[in-house]
Amino acid sequence: MTVDTPAGRYTYREHTTGEKTVGLAWLSVGALLSVLLEVVYVGARITLPTGQTVAFPFTILIAFGFTLVLSRTALLWTENRLVAGVPLGVWLAGYLALLIWPSVTGDVIVAETLRGVLLLLAGATGGGWPLIRGK
């Protein structure tokens, strides 16, 4: 079954349950890897020609864009917004797990600064936008 869209494009909707499950599982794995790398590099700094270092938290923008892509891709697999939100939920759960990690090992992973909060907001906003607004 195809759905007609303006430019003569169509979206394939005859996925089996197994295909949907595997697709969402891979998106969830991508979400976990994404949140780990974004948290690790949120404290990145660049060195200016004068020798000074400046905070360059580029992963905040990456978090917004990548979770946006994850949610939009999940909506290609299913029209159920709750199911399509699984990769975003995995991203948020990964962030939470990395946030509470110091209570287990004592190693701080998530920067408890404004950059850490902005990373969380960017990831949640980017992933939530397609789920609220649509594809």
What's the whole-number mean pLDDT along residues 81-102? Answer: 91
Q: Give residue 81's pLDDT.
A: 92
Quote the domain boundaries for residue 90: 2-133
Number of domains, the chain = 1
Q: Which has more confidence, 27 or 100?
A: 27
What's the whole-number mean pLDDT along residues 73-98? Answer: 92
Q: Give residue 64's pLDDT.
A: 97
- How many Å apart are CA 71 and CA 65, to the nearest integer? 10
- How many Å apart are CA 37 and CA 41, to the nearest integer? 6
Provide the token pair at 3: 């759905």
What is the number of residues in the chain?
A: 135
pTM score, two decimals? Answer: 0.82
- How many Å apart are CA 88 and CA 131, to the nearest integer? 10
CB of 57 closer than 8 Å to CB of 37: no
Q: Give residue 59's pLDDT.
A: 92
Residue where the block lists tokens 């499950």 = 21
- Distances from the Cα of 7 to the Cαs of 3, 4, 10, 11, in angstroms? 12, 9, 9, 12
DSSP string, 65-113: HHHHHHHHHHHHH-S-HHHHTHHHHHHHHHHHHHHHHHHHHS---S--S
